[in-house]
């Protein structure tokens, strides 16, 4: 997820949140009316406290967007987030960067040394080994490594890149209900370099994959999508927004300043707010939190009043919430469920 107020802004649409109420593997049925819903024995998603959203899995511990990072995350996370790109042969993969250089061992694969290219991506020339120049089989031959040198390196080289479908399966096969939170990355670039049959585009393949597993199916500026008019419009189609946290509480010289009214505006339109990204390391903590990530959690949950957090350390957030908000209230879960049910009833099933 990019740390820019204009380049990346999550919107939690019915497409991406409906999965928390889907039940069963066979056929992946669409969400029925609450009175007819079958749980198949799975524990329901909690909604009595802010959502724990695993940013690229539990990537503070295990290399990002790998099966192991997601398996670790679902031990405590409510949602698992991923970034979607495509291989040369059109297979959707879970990977954040358009180049492989920073988070894989591509440099060790001498047979690919002639694949380095320079392409323009979002107006900038980038040189490296691009995912769009490798088939899924070739990508699967690589191994993923930690992005940051100050994080645990013991899992480097142990896990492969996974596909979008493999990611979905991890969520759907969990012992309790776990939501997915996918983001398509650089669609213009992908469509320039990857071609699908019948004129299909990256976005089409993304939606097709969601629909295949029973998920149902908005490019404005930051100021447009945070306006009262826009929030009033999207409330009919989404249940929340996911802005960069520094657009909610601006930062100067690594100190917090006066919060904006974005959370209040969103809540006035009955929209949840899920900011990104919360990381434990001192490099990412503002001075106000005294090098304590729990102080940061407490500030955002209890002072700012957000409804979910994207974090690299799902275990830390889970422990914090278990200590500070252990009392469960099912009424909010029922309210959210009915809200999503009402939204979905406006769609025609295929």
pLDDT tens per residue across span 153-179? 999 999 999 999 999 999 998 988 898
Name residue 80's beta-bridge partners: 54, 180
Q: What is the pLDDT of residue 83?
A: 96
- At residue 41 the predicted structure's pLDDT band, cuts being 50, 70 and 90, is confident
Q: What is the pLDDT of residue 227?
A: 75
pTM of the model: 0.77
Place of tokens 């002072």: 303
Rounded alpha-carbon distances, angstroms, from residue 120 to 46, 85, 117, 153: 43, 16, 10, 31
Which helix (H) or strand (E) segment is 20 a member of? none
Question: Which residue spans within the chain are E strands per DSSP?
Answer: 10-13, 51-54, 79-86, 92-94, 117-121, 124-128, 179-184, 238-242, 251-252, 255-256, 272-273, 308-311
Dihedral angle sign, alpha carbons of residues 198, 199, 204, 206: positive
Query: What is the end-to-end Cα distance of the chain in Å, rounded?
Result: 32
**Comparing 14-18, 268-272, 286-290, which segment has the lowest mean pLDDT?**
14-18
- At residue 124 the predicted structure's pLDDT band, cuts being 50, 70 and 90, is very high
Whether residue 218 is predicted with pLDDT greater than 50 in this model: the reply is no
Q: What is the pLDDT of residue 39?
A: 47
Q: Residues with Cβ < 8 Å from 276, sequence gap 6 or more?
A: 1, 10, 53, 55, 242, 243, 244, 245, 309, 310
Q: 290: alpha, beta or left, given left = phi > 0 and alpha = psi -120 to 50?
A: left
CA gap 155, 305 in Å, rounded: 36
Q: What integer is the mean pLDDT of 194-208?
A: 94
CA gap 288, 35 in Å, rounded: 47
Whether residue 6 is predicted with pLDDT greater than 60 in this model: the reply is no
**Comparing 28-37, 97-106, 235-244, which segment has the lowest mean pLDDT?**
28-37
In three-state secondary structure terms, 75 is coil
Q: What integer is the mean pLDDT of 298-317?
A: 95
- At residue 228 the predicted structure's pLDDT band, cuts being 50, 70 and 90, is confident
């Amino acid at each position: 997820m990019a740390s820019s107020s204009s380049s990346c802004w999550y919107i939690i649409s019915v497409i991406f949140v409906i999965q928390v109420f889907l039940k069963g593997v066979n056929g992946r049925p669409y969400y029925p009316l609450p009175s007819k819903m079958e749980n198949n024995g799975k524990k329901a998603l909690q909604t009595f406290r802010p959502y724990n959203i695993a940013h690229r899995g539990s990537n503070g511990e295990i290399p990002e967007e790998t099966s192991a990072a997601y398996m670790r995350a679902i031990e405590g996370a409510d949602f698992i987030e991923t970034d979607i790109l495509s291989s040369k042969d059109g297979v959707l993969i879970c990977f954040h960067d358009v180049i492989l250089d920073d988070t894989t061992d591509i440099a060790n694969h001498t047979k690919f040394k002639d694949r380095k290219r320079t392409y323009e991506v979002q107006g900038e020339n980038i040189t490296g080994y691009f995912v769009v120049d490798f088939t899924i089989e070739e990508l699967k031959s690589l191994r993923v490594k930690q992005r940051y040198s100050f994080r645990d390196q013991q899992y480097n080289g142990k896990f492969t890149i996974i596909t979008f479908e493999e990611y979905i399966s991890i969520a759907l096969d969990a012992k309790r209900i776990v939501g997915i939170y996918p983001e398509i990355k650089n669609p213009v670039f992908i469509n320039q370099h990857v071609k699908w049959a019948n004129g299909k585009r990256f976005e089409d393949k993304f939606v097709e994959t969601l629909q295949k597993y029973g998920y149902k199916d908005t490019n404005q500026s930051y100021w447009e999508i945070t306006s009262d008019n826009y929030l009033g419009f999207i409330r009919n189609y989404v249940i929340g927004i996911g802005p960069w946290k520094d657009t909610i509480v601006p930062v100067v010289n690594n100190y917090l300043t006066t919060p904006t009214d974005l959370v209040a505006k969103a809540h006035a339109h009955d929209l949840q707010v899920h900011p990104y990204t919360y990381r434990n390391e001192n490099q990412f903590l503002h001075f106000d939190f005294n090098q304590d990530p729990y102080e940061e959690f407490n500030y955002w949950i209890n002072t700012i009043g957000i409804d979910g957090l994207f974090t690299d350390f799902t275990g830390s957030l889970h422990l914090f919430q278990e200590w500070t908000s252990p009392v469960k209230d099912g009424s909010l879960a029922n309210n959210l469920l009915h809200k999503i049910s009402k939204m979905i009833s406006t769609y025609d099933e295929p």
